[in-house]
Structure 1
Amino acid sequence: MDFIIDATLKALKHLYNADITAEDISLQQTRKEFEGQVTIVTFPFTKVSRKSPEQTGADIGEYLKNEVAEIADFNVIKGFLNLSIADVYWLKQFYNHILPGDGIVAEPNGKKVMVEYSSPNTNKPLHLGHVRNNLLGYSVANILAAAGYEVIKANLVNDRGIHICKSMLAWQKWGDGETPENTGMKGDHLVGKYYVVFDKEYKKQIDDLKAAGQTEDEAKKNAPLIKQAQQMLQQWEAGDQEVIDLWSTMNGWVYAGFEKTYKALGVDFDKFYYESNTYLLGKDIVDEGLEKGVFFKKEDGSVWIDLTEDGLDQKLVLRADGTSVYITQDLGTAQLKYNDFNMDESIYVVGNEQDYHFKVLFLILDKLGKSWARGLYHLSYGMVDLPSGKMKSREGTVVDADDLIREMKETAKEHTEALGKVDGFDEEEKTTLYQTIGMGALKYFLLKVDPKKRLLFDPNESVDFQGHTGPFIQYSHARIRSVISRGALQLEDVMPLTEVSAEERDLIMVLGQYPEAIQVAAQGHNPAAIANYVYEVAKLYNKFYHEHQVINAETEALKRFRLQLSTATANVIKAGMGLLGIDVPERM
């Protein structure tokens, strides 16, 4: 509210002949237990007023009430000046900015950002942890686009390495020609099945070797299966055609399976990078670092960087035999991405177990003098647990994403039918509604929590139509759309009002904060800011709806205004939930 800041500056000049800057004025939303909508903190002004915070607030409040038409009244609580803004101001804001939809998408800011998320391994299906990753990345990309950025959604697929060879070898040995077509299994599930098979057989061999007298470490190294997998990786890297063909076939199965899961989750990508194409990158950067003295070579020929002065440790960047490590590849891929898109920012959506890795990666790039390194950001997120406990993919007990999606639809169906919210729906409409509610429940539950926090996901709690849930917001939207359809509103019809109720004013206030909520969420890379904002909007509308008639309002002017307020609310809920990747039903 710039007009309040400008008026306060004039008040301070008039009352105390003080030249204060706008940065010295702190505006807050008035706490709910006090009268008013905007609060000015008066403590900083006591130096120039030479009065108590209370008296300073009273002086400024009196000046503003007399000189500014939009300020209807004020009260002072200790060092806080609470201002009541006139109804005509809120109505003007509503008709000039909120109802036309100003700020739902910001003007382009000229900045480009890449958001890299998903980053799956092609040896197993996506699981609950991947679900949080995908939903976070997709939502952050949406929010940044709404905030005015040009956004590239990227996926770096881990399609090579020893873990891929484990699935390939197990399928070769025990697959008996199984394919997605002849088994009816999704390709990622079929390949994941053989990853688990490998692990079980590998453990048997380890146990046999230990029984024969070898230590645990010796048995792990000497088990025939792991040696065969390592040999297969060497053959792949040497370009052995038979191994390459098998790798291509099985990865093809996985990609087809992933695509179905991505579609069910409602996420997509603009650019795919594959580690099979990038794993050799980075060696040129190592040479560059050696020339600049950023890296050093040990006697065995391995290349390192010393980060001890930065509070870290020494880090290997190239093995003695000249082969890459993960950091080598990531250095090269970071350069490749920048060369491809020349973006201002690059966001990596990766779990918090990789915090140290990204600290090292970003620091190395900065030390190498990469101008774009300061724009790199690790969106670190916590693990997702179910009430039954932590997931362990190698045990075959992973919480599979496809199973979770199916369970959410079923849970949504049970809750929706129990509440009688599908009366008058045909079967196709019911199926669509269960999908919308189930996925909305899942997405909202995972996104309403700050990404950095670990969370416990409860499917039943997430589908509750009451409380802080996606279905509560979805149902609120459907209710509003029902009101609007019964009101047969012509949006261009405006019949002037001069006052609004407290509930209407509160709703207008929060609707006007939507553009700011987008910017806050974008700057913090935090979808929870949008999720909690939309929940507040839905709560305030339900309070307004409970207190006031809409269709049967006392006057035609009031009816039209309340229908228009309902329309603006529905639009903001739909836009905000859309940023989270959540659909909202038109009726329930």
Structure 2
Amino acid sequence: MTNFALMNFILDAVVKAVKHIYNTDITSAEINLQETRKEFEGQITVVTFPFTKFSRKGPEQTGTDIGEFIKNEVPQVSAFNVIKGFLNISLSDEYWIDELYSNIATEDFAVFQPNSKKVMVEYSSPNTNKPLHLGHVRNNLLGFSVAEILKAAGYDVVKANLVNDRGIHICKSMLAWQLYGNGETPESAGMKGDHLVGKYYVIFDKEYKKEIEFLKAEGKTEEEAKKHAPLIKQAQILLQKWEAGDSDVIELWKTMNTWVYDGFGKTYKALGVDFDKFYYESNTYLLGKDIVEEGLAKGVFFQKEDGSVWIDLTADGLDEKLVRRSDGTSVYITQDLGTAQLKYDEFGMNESIYVVGNEQDYHFKVLFLILEKLQKSWAKGLYHLSYGMVDLPSGKMKSREGTVVDADDLIAEMEATAKQVTEELGKVNDFSEEDKQELYHTIGMGALKYFLLKVDPKKRLLFDPNESVDFQGHTGPFIQYTHARIKSVLNRATTNGTAVEPTQLATEERDLIVLLSKFPEIIAEAAKGHNPGIVANYVYEIAKSYNKFYHEHSILQAPDEQAKQFRLQLSATSAKVISKGMNLLGIAVPERM
């Protein structure tokens, strides 16, 4: 019986109680159930205020009436208490023991059946002119985890990556490499390809600024200097040649993008994220032109005298939006309209989730509203998973000035921090060198991922690498260590292979089983809210609850064999839920550490 079934179990009992005591028919929809607050006894709470209209008694007496009926009629209910208008129900130890053995400990616990709904989660969406940075790390981890949670909840999930591989920013890196590169390659430089291309993006920016200052010294305004600097003009010519299909430019573009993709691939592997489908802006930037014509024909768009095409969204509290320039070229939203149609045509998904930072909130409001006005049947399924920026204690990221918080550097720093903390605790003295390196990566990435995912995606956060690797805090390593502790206990134990059920539970045992039983509910809630933080914080509560149980009750030295076998089963089940929960966050849990 899962927590969903538990809800129905209590709902049915309340319906029967109201019918029997007050001769009144109610439906389960009229009953408000809540989780019992921690300071009160019980697991499930019934709000009794709505029943006073037909009980003609106060909420406390009404709760007592219903509680007494349920306790007498339902064997699984062991006790109840009433606090004002809240009836707190306690289920018996026998109920929770059966819950552990017949449900939580089984192979199909928290395994959802396919729900016939398809979801696309688009995340990462990097530019091919620089390496991935800390902001991309949050994006990738968030998108991957949301996709894994949706899969666990029964959805058919497609993980997509729309790569921004064209435009003036790409041409800046290409031009700088032509002017200053002297044929340098990732191999000759001993650099990852994305770092090499990013190096030339920074060089362009520095040289461009020098030209601007020179032109300003000659009397030009800031705006004039930016517009007429030779480097930016050369970059614009390069873009025009690319769009015209110039073979030499296309060849250089392909070569440098190949370097970048190789570098991205290594970073994705280190982050532990993957994709089912790649879209490339170089293939999609012309899409959307047909949609502009469709919008004009439907009267959704209008054309100005200069030939530009717009949509008026002022009645919706937005503004007028350009969808095609006067020269017939697309703007960014034109491409997004076409790509949205392409994605639906290819996959026919029920929901399409865009994992993009909150600086693009307005863009997606406009995009989704346009598609609704174009009467796209799938427009209601579009969702922008907006997330806040990540800051470090040293300050905000600045990408074009060469001070970006590089993802690869961050991963290396996390591994180094994990190594330092782990060695100080003396936990790896018997590990081989290879096992040590694997463990440092597992702990470092667990710390990084957990710290970024435990917070609601919408919130801006300050990432402190040292705080994230605290083995005693609200951290990934604390949960990983708890899992390793359980595995150590299980590896040292002998089991007789039979389920030995006790007749009574200690408070810590009962609390842990109650918490474990909520796992399916947690997955469903996280999937609905597109929020990995719900899973992250739940798994932390499991780890805390298990450690409390572990410290209060001996497992291998239990007073009798029955208690020992039961506690081993409870331990094994806790490890299983912790492992699956952490996997939904993309976090590995070590067998030992």
After TM superposition, the score normalised by the length of structure 1 is 0.99
Q: Does 1:297 align with 2:306?
A: no
- 8 Å CA contact 1:206–1:220 kept in 2: the answer is yes
Instruction: Note the alpha carbon deviations across 1:435-490, whole angstroms, 9 max, x for none.
Output: 10000000000000000000000000000001100000000000000111111335
Pairwise CA distance, 1:25: 1.1
SS at match of 1:394: coil
- State how far apart, in whole Å, the 1-side matches of 2:543 and 2:498 are: 25
2:342 paired residue number: 336
Q: Does 1:37 align with 2:53?
A: no
1:468 paired residue number: 474
- State how far apart, in whole Å, the 2-side matches of 1:200 and 1:67 are: 79
RMSD between aligned alpha carbons? 0.7
- State how far apart, in whole Å, the 2-side matches of 1:498 and 1:488 are: 22
> In structure 1, which of residues 523, 526, 531 is the aligned counterpart of residue 531 of structure 2?
526
Alignment of structure 1 residues 207-246 onto 2, 5 Å: 207-246=213-252
SS at match of 1:510: helix
Q: Does 1:12 align with 2:18?
A: yes
Q: Does 1:570 align with 2:579?
A: no
- State how far apart, in whole Å, the 2-side matches of 1:534 and 1:69 are: 31
2:3 paired residue number: none
Pairwise CA distance, 1:142: 0.3
Pairwise CA distance, 1:356: 0.3
Counterpart amino acid of 1:324?
Answer: S
- State how far apart, in whole Å, the 2-side matches of 1:56 and 1:466 are: 45
Q: Does 1:62 align with 2:68?
A: yes
Instruction: Note the alpha carbon deviations across 1:511-550, whole angstroms, 9 max, x for none.
Output: 1110110000000000000000100000000000011111
- State how far apart, in whole Å, the 2-side matches of 1:570 and 1:201 are: 56
After TM superposition, the score normalised by the length of structure 2 is 0.98
Pairwise CA distance, 1:4: 1.1
- State how far apart, in whole Å, the 2-side matches of 1:530 and 1:428 are: 31
- State how far apart, in whole Å, the 2-side matches of 1:385 and 1:403 are: 15
Pairwise CA distance, 1:551: 0.8
1:270 paired residue number: 276
1:194 paired residue number: 200
Pairwise CA distance, 1:300: 0.3
Relative distance call for 1:3 and 1:104 in structure 2 (3 A) is: closer
2:463 paired residue number: 457
- State how far apart, in whole Å, the 2-side matches of 1:508 and 1:82 are: 18
- State how far apart, in whole Å, the 1-side matches of 2:554 and 2:28 are: 42
SS at match of 1:155: strand
- State how far apart, in whole Å, the 2-side matches of 1:572 and 1:284 are: 49
Q: Does 1:140 align with 2:154?
A: no
2:175 paired residue number: 169
- State how far apart, in whole Å, the 2-side matches of 1:562 and 1:384 are: 41
Instruction: Note the alpha carbon deviations across 1:72-110, whole angstroms, 9 max, x for none.
Output: 111111111111111111011111110004343311000
Pairwise CA distance, 1:194: 0.4
- State how far apart, in whole Å, the 1-side matches of 2:189 and 2:492 are: 51
SS at match of 1:380: strand
- State how far apart, in whole Å, the 1-side matches of 2:518 and 2:130 are: 43
- State how far apart, in whole Å, the 1-side matches of 2:355 and 2:37 are: 36
- 8 Å CA contact 1:101–1:568 kept in 2: the answer is no
Q: Does 1:415 align with 2:390?
A: no
- State how far apart, in whole Å, the 2-side matches of 1:396 and 1:496 are: 62
Alignment of structure 1 residues 172-187 onto 2, 5 Å: 172-187=178-193
1:82 paired residue number: 88
Stretch moving more, 107-116 or 93-102:
93-102
Counterpart amino acid of 2:562?
Answer: A
Pairwise CA distance, 1:32: 1.7
Instruction: Note the alpha carbon deviations across 1:367-416, whole angstroms, 9 max, x for none.
Output: 10100010000000000000000000001000000000000000000000
- State how far apart, in whole Å, the 2-side matches of 1:104 and 1:62 are: 33
Counterpart amino acid of 2:455?
Answer: V
1:26 paired residue number: 32
Q: Does 1:374 align with 2:380?
A: yes
- State how far apart, in whole Å, the 1-side matches of 2:583 and 2:210 are: 49
- State how far apart, in whole Å, the 2-side matches of 1:35 and 1:113 are: 41
> In structure 2, which of residues 512, 517, 521 is the aligned counterpart of residue 512 of structure 1?
517
Counterpart amino acid of 2:512?
Answer: L
- 8 Å CA contact 1:27–1:39 kept in 2: the answer is yes
- 8 Å CA contact 1:116–1:347 kept in 2: the answer is yes
Pairwise CA distance, 1:499: 1.4
2:330 paired residue number: 324
Pairwise CA distance, 1:233: 0.3
- State how far apart, in whole Å, the 1-side matches of 2:501 and 2:583 are: 32
- 8 Å CA contact 1:115–1:152 kept in 2: the answer is yes
- State how far apart, in whole Å, the 2-side matches of 1:396 and 1:411 are: 24
| Structure 1 unaligned blocks of 5 or more | none
- State how far apart, in whole Å, the 2-side matches of 1:207 and 1:475 are: 55
Q: Does 1:129 align with 2:118?
A: no
How many percent identity over aligned positions? 75
Instruction: Note the alpha carbon deviations across 1:311-358, whole angstroms, 9 max, x for none.
Output: 101000000000000000000000000111111100000000000000
1:487 paired residue number: 493
Pairwise CA distance, 1:150: 0.5
Instruction: Note the alpha carbon deviations across 1:209-241, whole angstroms, 9 max, x for none.
Output: 100000000000000000000010000000001
1:430 paired residue number: 436
Pairwise CA distance, 1:501: 1.0
Pairwise CA distance, 1:242: 0.6
